[in-house]
């Protein structure tokens, strides 16, 4: 099963995967808001770095779930 189909299936069937995806999307939205600003305060810069780290960790966890599902459908 291709990755996108697995992801779509997990979004429907796994509340854990769905929660991770929704959190990832929230971080993505906040990062877009920060990117639209011409200048970031020091607090916003710290928040941006933390959000990027959190978003990457979420993406890694989702990728592991996708990989595990692909091996054991």
CA–CA separation, 57 and 53 (whole Å): 6
**pLDDT score of 73:** 61
**pLDDT score of 9:** 95
CA distances from 20 to 10, 23, 40, 67 (A): 11, 5, 27, 15
Query: pLDDT tens, 8-32?
Result: 999 999 999 999 999 999 999 999 9
CA–CA separation, 28 and 50 (whole Å): 12
**pTM of the predicted structure, to 2 decimals:** 0.87
CA–CA separation, 29 and 46 (whole Å): 16
Query: pLDDT tens, 52-69?
Result: 999 999 999 999 999 999
């Amino acid at each position: 099963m291709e990755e996108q189909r697995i992801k779509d299936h997990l979004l429907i069937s796994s509340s854990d995967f769905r929660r991770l995806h929704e959190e990832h999307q929230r971080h993505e939205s906040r990062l877009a808001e920060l990117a639209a600003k011409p200048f970031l305060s020091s607090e916003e810069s710290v928040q941006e770095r933390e959000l990027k780290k959190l978003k990457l960790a979420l993406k890694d966890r989702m990728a592991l779930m996708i990989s595990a599902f692909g091996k054991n459908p």
